[in-house]
A and B are shown apart, each in its own frame.
Chain A
Amino acid sequence: MERLASVLLSSVLSAGLYATMAYGLAVIYGVMRIINLAHAGLMMLAAYVTLALNTRFGLDPFLSLLVVAPLFFCFGVLLDLTLIRRLPQGGNAPSMQSLLLLFGLWLVLQNLAYVVWGGDTQAILTPYTMSSVPLLGERYGVPLLLVFGVSVLSLLGLNFMLRRSFLGRAIRAVTQNRDAALLSGVNAARISAVAFGLGTAFAAIAGTMLSTLYAFTPDFGRSFLLKAFCIIVLGGLESFTGVAIGALVLALIENLMAAYTSIPTSFQDAISFSLLVLVLVVAPTGLPALFRSFSRRAVAR
């Protein structure tokens, strides 16, 4: 029982990070119908920027979020204005062209990191990197707990923004029904730019937090991109709560597998990748839609 409790706690802790990581993809997909393959590259870049701020100015990685997130928001808006806007717009399905363009961007970002920082493995060490706190009979690293706190805070902040501000409501309106939103006077070009900036900023927040937990190279982020994608598909691709549910489900599956099966940890990633394929095929509309259709069927009886 105690073991189950600690598995659940670990799952919730990693779900926070997963949700932050996945939300960046979800907002861009929701508003622009674009699958941002450069997400991994942006996370990696944010990790290096955090490292640079840490080594150059001695800035704490968690404090550096205050610099990194706005910086990447601007970078994202810039990317939208210079690159993505040039592609043919419209259509309700994501286009292959945008996918491949952002794939190219990912490669360019990777190379940028190789040129600036070299290919060596890097890590950010802080005084509290190695310290841990006992919780429910297990010890949890301080960075992990801080990451969870920051994730929850940033997601709550985002949720507040989406529900209360005009901009946030416009973003949700475009996500729910693009044509209706445009007819009621929402400026689609501006909302797209903001959405891409927001997605980029969340990729950066995730990247910074990942840099406090893992060592990284310019190749960093690919497995996290796949996990993030798995999460937004699980969550039904666009809703805010869907992302949270998807993150929790993936974290639970991973932690339960690690605790109760003898599958070696080196195969862990293969599990989430296979889960991605499985979910895409079995429940392409996500878990919430699946539940809804089940309950509707139950009511009909």
Chain B
Amino acid sequence: MKGARAWMAVLAATLLLAPLLAERGTLNDLWNVAFAVVLASAWNLLGGFAGQISLGYSAFVGIGAYTTVLLADAGWNPWLTLPVAAALAVLFSVVVGLPTFRLRGPYFSIATIGVGEAVRVIASGMEFTGGSSGLRMPSADFHFLSNYYGMAVLALLTVGVMAYVRGQAFGLALSAIRQDIDAAEALGIPSTRYKLLAHALSAALVGTAGGLFAMNFQYISPGSVFDFRLSLSIVLMPIVGGIGTLVGPVLGAVLFSYLQIKLLASPTLRDSYLFIYGGLLMLVMLFEPHGMVGLWERLVQLGRRAGRPVAGAPRGG
């Protein structure tokens, strides 16, 4: 795991020292990277470590964002709304998790699409959420640099929590649940409780990120924070990067933010992001289920074997 630690140090240094060197535009891009890192790494706790693929994570981003905007409009300091945003996301994760964690594998995934869509439809139809036209933050308090540091610190915190959890009994129990839930139960692991706990922890992180998103963008609507495409990116980043690993979601987040910046800048590619996302997902599923991390490990193996002649392509474990 020495490699992972070095990677994390690079990430921390880049995010924290960038404001000294970089311009506003670059910082904006880095803010996006940090946001993506939070979403991907937090999703990975439930989807990667515990193997429960949820396709409805935009609900947590949306709940966090709406909480922050609604409370800020009521006169709260935006920073103080973040714990409330996290708490409501946790509450929702438990309400959704209690019934859906009885389902396994793909059935759970389909149910989460249903939950995410239902939340979006309801948010677009409600009065207090501003309907489909959305809500605006009170315009007085906007400091980009503090927003930037807020997201950067949250990203590092998320990755740190994941690194910590992985070594704990909790992390090992999650990985047992992923490998064989019946065997895990037989060994005395209360699988539903652990899944709920993982769901709640990642929901808290994602909900906070949603609040910070609202603070930085100043304007939210069901189309931006409850969008199915957001759920989609949240799932794709860790899968393309390397599901269940520590570095994978970060790599995926960096790749996807880079792609997004490039795609938005080019009018011809703007609409083809679905092709790139979908194509990447299909390639990963067909050829390398462990994503970029798996690819890297194969290359390293290939390098080690370079002394000997290799017949055909090596098959990675």
User: Using Cβ atoms and an 8 Å threshold, which residues of chain B touch A276?
Assistant: 110-111, 114
Q: Which of A67-75, A158-166, A267-275 contacts B (4 or more CB under 8 A)?
A: A267-275
Q: Specify the chain B residue showing the minimal Cβ separation from A35.
A: B106
Flag if B285 contacts A223 (CB, 8 Å). Answer: no
Interface residues of A in 68-121 (CB under 8 A from B): 83, 86-87, 93-101, 103-112, 114-115, 119
Partner of B117, one of A101, A107, A223: A223
Q: Are B107 and A107 in contact (CB under 8 A)?
A: no
Tell me if B138 counts as interface (CB < 8 A to partner A). Answer: no
A93 pairs with B105, CB closer than 8 A = yes
Chain A CB within 8 A of B16 CB: no
CB atoms of B122 and A267 under 8 A apart: yes
Task: Tell me how many residues of A have a C-beta within 8 Å of chain B.
Answer: 44
Given A111-B272, A270-B121, A281-B99, A104-B106 contact (CB < 8 Å): no
User: Which of B121, B124, B228 gathers the greatest number of chain A CB atoms within 10 Å?
Assistant: B121
List B contacts of A112 (CB < 8 A).
275
- Answer whether residue A188 sits at the interface, using C-beta atoms and an 8 A cutoff: no
Cβ of A262 < 8 Å from any Cβ of B? no
Which of B115, B274, B282 has a CB less than 8 Å from the CB of A114?
Answer: B274
Q: A100's contact among B100, B121, B275, B281, by CB below 8 Å, is which?
A: B281
Residues of chain B from 91 to 114 with CB closer than 8 A to chain A in the complex: 99-100, 102-107, 109-111, 113-114
- A277 an interface residue at 8 Å Cβ cutoff? yes
A261: B residues at CB distance < 8 A: none
Number of B residues whose C-beta is below 8 Å from A? 39
The docked-state distance in angstroms from the alpha carbon of A112 to that of B6 is 40
Q: Determine which of A94, A101, A111, A280 lies in contact with B281 in the assembled complex, contact meaning CB atoms within 8 Å.
A: A101
Interface string of B205-237 (1 = CB under 8 A from A): 000000000000000000000001000100000
Are B282 and A277 interface neighbours, CB within 8 A? no
Alpha-carbon separation in the docked complex, A110 to B114 (Å)? 20
Complex Cα distance, B53 from A276, in Å, reads 17
B125 on interface, CB distance cutoff 8 Å: yes
CB distance from B122 to the nearest CB of A (A): 5
How many residue pairs between the two chains, A and B, have CB atoms under 8 Å in the bound complex? 125
B277 at the interface (CB under 8 A from A): yes
- Also in contact, A281 and B100, with CB within 8 A (given A107-B275, A112-B275, A115-B272): yes
* A222 lies within 8 A of B282 (CB): no
A110 to B282 CA separation, bound complex (whole angstroms): 14
Specify the chain B residue showing the minimal Cβ separation from A276.
Answer: B114
Q: Is the CB of B105 within 8 A of A270?
A: no
Task: Say what secondary structure dominates the interface of chain B.
Answer: helix
Shortest C-beta distance, A5 to chain B (Å), equals 30
Q: Chain A contact residues: over half helix, strand or loop, or mixed?
A: helix
**How far, in Å, is B252 (CB) from chain A's closest CB?**
14
Tell which of B53, B117, B125, B285 has the most Cβ of chain A within 10 Å. Answer: B285
Contact B106 A99 (CB under 8 A): yes
> A101-B286, A222-B228, A270-B118 are known contacts. Are A96 and B278 too (CB-CB below 8 A)?
no
Q: List 22 A-B contacts (CB under 8 A).
A: A35-B106, A83-B282, A86-B286, A93-B104, A96-B51, A96-B53, A100-B281, A103-B278, A103-B281, A105-B282, A107-B232, A115-B271, A115-B272, A266-B121, A269-B117, A269-B118, A270-B117, A270-B121, A270-B122, A273-B121, A277-B100, A277-B114
The 9 closest A-B pairs by CB, nearest first: A107-B278, A104-B281, A111-B275, A104-B282, A111-B274, A108-B278, A273-B114, A101-B285, A273-B118
Chain B interface residues (CB < 8 Å from chain A): 51, 53, 99-100, 102-107, 109-111, 113-115, 117-118, 121-122, 124-125, 228, 232, 239, 271-275, 277-282, 285-286, 289
Question: Which residues of A does B touch, CB under 8 Å?
Answer: 35, 83, 86-87, 93-101, 103-112, 114-115, 119, 222-223, 226, 229-230, 264, 266-267, 269-270, 273-274, 276-278, 280-281, 284
